[in-house]
Amino acid sequence: MTFREELASIKPLLESIGPYNEFPEEYNSKDAIEALLTSKVLVIGAGGLGCEILKNLALTGFKDIHVIDMDTIDISNLNRQFLFRTGDVGKSKAQVAAKFVEERIGDKQLKITPYFGKIQDKDLEYYKQFSVVICGLDSVEARRWINATLVSISESNDIIPMIDGGTEGLRGQSRVILPTISSCYECSLDLISPRTTYPVCTIANTPRLPEHCIEWASVIKWGQVFPNQKFDADNPEDVEWMYTAALSRANEFNIEGVTKSLTLGVVKNIIPAIASTNAVIAASCCNEAFKLITNSNPILDNYMTYSGDDSIFTFTFELAKKNTCSVCGVTGISIIAQNWWTLETFIEEISEKKDIQVKQPSLTTSSNYLYLRNPPHLEEITRPNLNKKLSNLINPGEEIIVTDPNLPMSLKLIVSFEGPELEPI
């Protein structure tokens, strides 16, 4: 398709303003076309969603696209990440995807710039150049990082919208985040489904599901056979052993359904990706990018869910901002701690909370270091605090600042106390 043919295909969308546009008198189709041709769009992730997003953006008329992905292509990606071929296995997803789309579109004005690496490698100035950021990620940590980064940029009055898409099997969602204006990604952490876990007594004594057998092989049997070796889900030999052990356990209890793909899904906490769901969500994300850039129609306000596992169902709603959001809120997160909790217990408890989710936290107050993981000499100095009661280290209502190397922002926790002074027996 030539550029003239491509422009002709989308021109009717730009010349006839959408029926629900709130400001029809301010809309100008020439400005819309110019914005489409000159805007810089960043796509984060070149996997199942990213491949669809890159293709859609190029066919919609965007000319300056950048893509970031830290992963290389695996043979298991080929069933749904259609920009890749067998000969691409082991290569950078971002680089292969960018080259494939450029060559297939054949438009000299189209430029897709790949970056093979982490989003954390880039500084604020890099992100400030984009008109919109579209996320096709499978990582909560990466979403939290880019969300906080864009919110920090918006504090200098540079609003860079973030469009986020995600899928789980036959379900998915897309959302539009206007930093500091709408709710941000951090506001919705408590909507994320926790990882499915199974009681140890069930998997050890009375397994009923194939997942129970796989968890038994992973949690119990592996440690017995390989006490000093960590299971590597990317090692085919380790996966084969795990599958064989789980299958043997299933046969012992007459349980059907243990397969190698299910074994890998359970041990890596993977929900199978479905190409058609990726296509639906990617289309929604790109529609929102088109509307944001051209102002031809109102944008999504601000969260759309899609369910295809029980007929087809979609629902759109406005997710409200949280005053206690660590990124865009104005107050800290209130935490009720038990009087008998040690600092170590407190860290374990907050690490599991859905609206906090930290992995390697360091904690300070305005006047005291509670526990610092780095540098090593400060970790050694603050380590004894882990065994002390939290109520002896801080005052009720005092604010604790939590930092984590996986997050670009700090979390503010306001702690109050209740319950007995001694741990219940």
Active site residues: 201
Query: Residue 65's beta-bridge partner residues?
Result: 41, 112
Distances in Å between the alpha carbon of 336 and those of 186, 187, 340?
A: 20, 20, 12
Asked if 144 and 97 touch (Cβ cutoff 8 Å), the reply is: no
Longest dimension (CA), the chain: 76
CA atoms within 13 A on the CB side of 262: 16
Question: How deeply is 7 buried, as exposed, middle or buried, from its count of CB atoms within 10 A (0-12, 13-18, 19+)?
Answer: middle
Rounded CA-CA distance 286/60 in Å is 8
Asked if 105 and 113 touch (Cβ cutoff 8 Å), the reply is: no
Asked if 45 and 138 touch (Cβ cutoff 8 Å), the reply is: yes
Distances in Å between the alpha carbon of 338 and those of 323, 342, 417?
A: 24, 9, 6
Query: Residue 116's beta-bridge partner residues?
Result: 69
Rounded CA-CA distance 328/144 in Å is 12
Asked if 368 and 377 touch (Cβ cutoff 8 Å), the reply is: no
CA 319-351-356 angle, to 5 degrees, is 20
Rounded CA-CA distance 409/239 in Å is 37
Asked if 215 and 203 touch (Cβ cutoff 8 Å), the reply is: yes
Asked if 233 and 268 touch (Cβ cutoff 8 Å), the reply is: yes
Rounded CA-CA distance 214/234 in Å is 16
Asked if 295 and 27 touch (Cβ cutoff 8 Å), the reply is: yes
Distances in Å between the alpha carbon of 330 and those of 24, 409, 412?
A: 35, 14, 10
Rounded CA-CA distance 256/208 in Å is 10
